[in-house]
Chains A and B, each alone.
Chain A
Amino acid sequence: MTEWPLVLFTVAIQLSCGLAMAAVFADFKGVRPAAMRPVGTAIFPLAAVGLLVSLFHLGRPLAGFKALRNLGRSPLSLEVLMTLLFAVLALAYSHLWRKEIKPGRAALGLVTSICGLGAVISSSAIYRLPSQPVWNSGWLPVSFLGTTLLLGGFASVTLVKLKDDPRLLRIYLAAGGAGSLVVVFSAMWMVASLSRGTNNAFVSARLQHALHLLGSPWYSGSFGLHLLLTAVVPIAFAYRSWPGKEVSAQSAATPTALMLGFIAIMVGVLFGRTILYSLGLSMPPF
């Protein structure tokens, strides 16, 4: 699989965008800055790592800046622009969090989050290609947006100490849980999309080939692991961390347990993304 830089790039940008959304939400809620500082400062490094890793996908990484040459027409140019814009805004936003500068931070965070969502949506749009029937369906953008929510919600719970603010903790857990449901829904949508009937022999051949691959031991095992880690683990994560009378994030789930849970979710997301690229490019066009 030669698309591993794209796997890491898309996941890193979605995580970064999810964290930006979590941070700006906290900003508007007036959460104690020290508690949210780890989330705010992690946004830019993740976006930067995503961008850097994406260069490894290029045959000529040093010429990567030329990807902006066809802005009016190419969806890929738009994706690069949106991601660059998001990274620049994230740099400023993370800086404000790092220095704990309050004025203007919420507004900048809002713009950063919107730009991040734009980057995620434009990123999913580049796969809507009639020549790639496996990807050319609504499940892919839904999966990208679900992953943003899933990772953003649970990463925030893992990174911050929200003992004093159980309401915000509940919101993050709920967002992560909703993201988990969306990711599972998109996975089911993908299977349904691969099983759809069509009169076009070219499209049928590709869908059937992908479906056949998905049934093979390696793919079905990976797909099962993806579902397990993005559905079951988040539910357990949320259950253990949900603040209530008897259970709270800091008492029931230790930081190590939270971190292990998040790593498991991350592994599940990476498996899902690897399947996305492997299935899509499994059959040459001609």
Chain B
Amino acid sequence: MIAGQIAFSVDSTKCINCKTCEIACKDFNDSAVGRRIRKVRIFEGGEFPTVFAYNISMSCNHCEEPLCVTHCPAGAYEKRAKDGIVVHDPERCIGCRYCIWVCPYGAPQYDSEEGRVRKCNFCVDQIDKGNSPVCVTSCPMRAIEFGPLVEIATRPGATIAIRNLPSPDLTKPACRYKVRLEALMGVQA
């Protein structure tokens, strides 16, 4: 793990699926229709009468072993050494969309008008100025936070092993989520 790795912490138990984070992200990044750099998705499970649902707000997980960085043929992805943020350089992108196939979380989004991919850059310009990413500031439930991974990973309930999501072993995502018990991977519903 990169010593200064920063990460998102999403408290799914607070999330009400209002999608304000999605809208704020789209607005800030001027994303085209259908391109969702941050997405809120609802998952359902269980059997009647013990059914359950949980919301997951997810963008790029700024993985510790990002497949987009290793697989991009144009070398458009880079994992910053100082904070572990995976940044995408649109000038280098050739629009081959291989990163979309490779990322288990669907973080890269293709913009057909620009002919290249966009993804969450953790609002690096804001971070470098000492501000917070727009999804963090916009969430009305204060469900999204960010900080050093070493601190976020030790929060009670912090996990990335979530039911219906890819195995964390694939890329070792840096972001952490707090979910209800039934939403944990491997827990019997």
> Interface on A for B, CB 8 Å cutoff?
57-60, 63-64, 66-70, 73-77, 80, 126, 129-132, 200-202, 205, 281, 284-286
Asked if B116 contacts A59 (CB within 8 A), the reply is yes
In the complex, the number of residue pairs spanning A and B with C-beta atoms less than 8 Å apart equals 102
Measured between beta carbons, the chain A residues less than 8 angstroms from B165 are 202, 286
Whether B157 is near chain A, meaning CB under 8 Å from some CB there, is no
Given known pairs A59-B114, A69-B73, the reply for A284 and B106 (CB within 8 Å) is yes
Of residues 77 through 119 on chain B, the ones whose CB sits less than 8 Å from some CB of chain A are 92-98, 101-107, 110-112, 114-117
Asked if B92 contacts A76 (CB within 8 A), the reply is no
Whether B180 is near chain A, meaning CB under 8 Å from some CB there, is no
24 contacts between A and B (CB under 8 A): A58-B96, A59-B94, A59-B95, A59-B96, A59-B97, A60-B94, A63-B94, A68-B73, A69-B74, A70-B71, A70-B72, A70-B73, A73-B71, A74-B98, A76-B96, A129-B67, A131-B170, A132-B101, A202-B104, A202-B165, A205-B164, A285-B103, A286-B39, A286-B104
Measured between beta carbons, the chain A residues less than 8 angstroms from B103 are 131, 285
Asked if A60 contacts B116 (CB within 8 A), the reply is yes
Q: Which applies to chain B's interface (DSSP): helix, strand, loop or mixed?
A: loop
Nearest chain B CB to A206's CB is how many angstroms away?
10
Measured between beta carbons, the chain B residues less than 8 angstroms from A58 are 94-96, 115
User: Number of B residues contacting the other chain (C-beta, 8 Å)?
Assistant: 38
Given known pairs A58-B94, A131-B102, A285-B105, the reply for A74 and B72 (CB within 8 Å) is yes
Given A129-B102, A286-B39, 8 more A-B residue pairs with CB atoms under 8 Å apart are A64-B94, A70-B70, A74-B70, A77-B73, A131-B102, A201-B185, A202-B164, A286-B106
Measured between beta carbons, the chain B residues less than 8 angstroms from A131 are 67, 101-104, 166, 170
Nearest chain A CB to B119's CB is how many angstroms away?
12
With the chains together, A64 CA to B94 CA distance in Å? 6
Measured between beta carbons, the chain B residues less than 8 angstroms from A205 are 164
